[in-house]
Amino acid sequence: MSSIVNSSQYLFTSESVTEGHPDKMCDQISDAILDAILRDDPDARVACETATTTGLVLVLGEITTSTYVDFQAVVRETVRDVGYTRADYGFDYLTCGTLVSVKEQSPDIARGVDHALEVRADAADPDELGAGDQGMMFGFACRETPELMPLPIALAHRMARRLAEVRKSGQLPYLRPDGKTQVTVEYRDGRPERVRTVVVAAQHDPDVREERLRRELIDAVIMPTIPAELRATDPVMHVNATGRFVVGGPMGDAGLTGRKIIVDTYGGMARHGGGCFSGKDPTKVDRSASYAARHVAKNVVAAGIADRFEIELAYAIGVAQPLSVSVETFGTGRIPDDDILRLVREHFDLRPASIIAALGLRAPIYRQTAAYGHFGRVDLDLPWERTDKAELLADAAGLPRPAAEPTLLPG
């Protein structure tokens, strides 16, 4: 990535999907089940996976909880909210079958999570949680947008959300729930210069004419999403490039939780450890440590310590302390990387129990994140998106906080 960023001119592309995409619907079902459990049992252990195909939703995984959840009711409510409300869409919440195959969390895993390796011998701190799995997690932030996200994924998400808005409002009544967006941005000297190409694939009723669909999607979805300063020349626009997208959702393609991890994060602009978020309670560091890493990265950039920043955390199952913490500033750091790493270690406690407490992760807040990204969500008050330590970091680094940059994304 650093070699691309250091090039004087390059293109970068990111995609998003609507809430009706079959993979994203599975993410939302898994997180809706997680939320339903956490409302009554904040200490539950949940690893909930969902799969879907024509006429069927399968819920499976490992769940240990003291509460009762009507899985079928949660599934149908989520499918209805996504928009699959009619049989002629090829999938609908009233008639889809639902199968549930859930068992308790393995006691071997629970043993390491309940009491971290550091305290297991003498039980000095019985509340110290071990990491729920091994792995590496990345956090990223940059000064391309007010929400400190890469511009390509920010625009792709806005376009996907706009697709859903015009469908739900009735402005474009022929649209159906499934859809995808993709945005290619041209960079010069490390800064976004213009939007080069846009791709939109929108599921639609069979009787809408291709010419009308293209014209109205450009006017109502694409052009309002791209700031004027980024389209000095009109981008190339591919709208339903096959000419027809009637069969979609689970009827068009099977869906599975965790298959849109790049959509969920930074659109490919940062590295990814491979673990998904949805359906996992916060003892799973795939989720909680990724949120903590974003919190660190956003505060470092907001503090003016770097304009582009990535952090990697690594964990071992049953061990509380990260095995490694590393940082990358892509040549934009205003103090040495070793000093940044020292500040991160001093001001952020990256043990699972501390992350959960600091970010309030035992609350039922997850379904709202399961479509249109977990990061950069200006529409949601997510604790890992707060820049509550930026001033502290700037002071500790001996730097003034940077002035706000021009807004590339309206609203």
In the set 71, 245, 277, 375, the catalytic residue is 245
In the set 143, 161, 284, 295, the catalytic residue is 284
In the set 178, 286, 312, 385, the catalytic residue is 286
In the set 45, 162, 180, 367, the catalytic residue is 180
Q: Identify whether 346 is a catalytic site residue.
A: no
Q: Identify whether 204 is a catalytic site residue.
A: no
In the set 186, 253, 339, 349, the catalytic residue is 253
In the set 259, 294, 295, 374, the catalytic residue is 259
In the set 176, 196, 260, 295, the catalytic residue is 260
Q: Identify whether 27 is a catalytic site residue.
A: no
Q: Identify whether 180 is a catalytic site residue.
A: yes
3-state DSSP assignment of residue 315: strand
Q: Looking up tokens 């590339």, which residue turns up?
A: 408
The DSSP secondary structure of 18-79, one letter per residue, reads: -TTSHHHHHHHHHHHHHHHHHHH-TT-EEEEEEEEETTEEEEEEEEE-SS---HHHHHHHHH
Q: Identify whether 23 is a catalytic site residue.
A: yes
What is the β-pairing status of strands 97-103 and 56-64? parallel
Q: Identify whether 284 is a catalytic site residue.
A: yes
Q: Identify whether 389 is a catalytic site residue.
A: no
Q: Identify whether 168 is a catalytic site residue.
A: no
In the set 77, 81, 147, 254, the catalytic residue is 254
In the set 62, 114, 118, 339, the catalytic residue is 62
Q: Identify whether 385 is a catalytic site residue.
A: no
Contact of 343 with 397, CB cutoff 8 Å = yes
In the set 49, 133, 216, 310, the catalytic residue is 49
Q: Identify whether 188 is a catalytic site residue.
A: no
Q: Identify whether 280 is a catalytic site residue.
A: yes
In the set 19, 21, 292, 297, the catalytic residue is 21
Buried b / exposed e across 329-360, counting CB within 10 Å, b at 16+? bbebbbbeeeebeebbeeebebbbbbbbebbe
What is the spatial distance between Cα 9 and Cα 324, in angstroms, rounded to a whole number?
A: 33
**CA-closest candidate to residue 332, choices 264, 274, 402:** 402
In the set 12, 15, 19, 23, the catalytic residue is 23
In the set 280, 287, 308, 374, the catalytic residue is 280
The DSSP secondary structure of 129-192, one letter per residue, reads: PPBSS-EEEEEEEETTSTTS--HHHHHHHHHHHHHHHHHHTTSSTTEEEEEEEEEEEEEETTEE
Q: Identify whether 253 is a catalytic site residue.
A: yes
In the set 15, 19, 24, 348, the catalytic residue is 24
Catalytic residues: 21, 23-24, 49, 62, 180, 245, 253-254, 259-260, 280, 284, 286
